[in-house]
Amino acid sequence: MISLTSVVALFSDLGEAELVTWVERGWVRPEGAEPGSDADWVFHEIDIARIRLIHDLSHRMELEADAIPLVLSLLDQVHELRFQLRSVLRAVEGQPQAVREAILAAL
């Protein structure tokens, strides 16, 4: 678990105000960032990965701020689809050989 100050220290060109804006916009959802919460924000590794992505989009790729939610939404959909496909794969793997062969033949 990582604090706001520690997250900002990971990036040479990311200010605390910018990261706070990302959280306020819902691009990053650290623990304790619920509306009305006065708890300190706690960032987990998944939050850091998302911050790295947003940082790359905005700083390295110079993507406009109003385009970032669209890109994040599309990437979230891709990740969800991958999760669903893994679930389907596990379900198929649990089927008898004849059923697996029928599925392969249908594909």
Name the DSSP letter for residue 58.
I
pTM: 0.81
Residue 44: how many other CB atoms lie within 10 Å: 13
Instruction: Report how far Cα 8 is from the mean position of its chain's Cα atoms.
Output: 18
pLDDT digits (tens, 9 = 90+) for 18-72: 999 999 999 999 998 876 665 789 999 999 999 999 999 999 999 999 999 999 9
Extents of the domains making up the chain:
1-64, 66-107
**Fold that domain 1-64 belongs to in CATH:** Multidrug-efflux Transporter Regulator; Chain: A; Domain 2 (1.10.1660)
Q: What is the pLDDT of residue 38?
A: 58
19: number of CA atoms within 13 Å, CB side? 26
